[in-house]
Amino acid sequence: MNLNKAVLMGNLTHDPKVKALSGKQKVATFSVATNRAWRDYKTKATKEAVEFHPIVAWGNLASIIEKYLKKGDRVYVEGRLATRKWEDKNKLKHERTEVVAQNLIMLGSARKGAKPQAVANAVAPEEGALEEVPVA
């Protein structure tokens, strides 16, 4: 048995872009930034790295994202990794690996005065990680 699962918790880097496809199917795209911190062994200095993860959500989940999420909002995303390949009009080949969101929980907003809100397990229909602990 194989497993393809991605789990991320981070902040949106920009407002989600939502498109309506044929048949009123919606697709939302956005990016989530995650960071990790560690202490350099030799210098004892704290270092930090940021990763940016492209996310795609379909159907009802895309509608929820369109309605509630904005740049800076903190989210928990579960999904699967998918790689798309295409050729542009100039015959250049492109490849992009992204997380296809299946569950999303809104953890809070970066907007001042906004209260945390959550949509637990908003599951998207099928369509064609935090791994480091911050330094104390």
Domains of the chain by residue range: 6-37+46-108
Q: Check residue 111 and give its pLDDT.
A: 58
Q: What DSSP designation does 42 have?
A: T
Q: Check residue 73 and give its pLDDT.
A: 95
Residue with tokens 């989210």: 75
Q: What does the pLDDT average to over 33-46?
A: 92
Q: What does the pLDDT average to over 110-121?
A: 50
Q: Check residue 110 and give its pLDDT.
A: 59
| CATH architecture group of domain 6-37+46-108 | Beta Barrel (2.40)
Q: Beta-strand (E) ranges in the chain?
A: 6-12, 17-20, 26-39, 46-58, 74-87, 93-108
- 71, pLDDT greater than 90: yes
Q: Look up residue 15 and give its amino acid.
A: D
Q: What does the pLDDT average to over 61-67?
A: 93
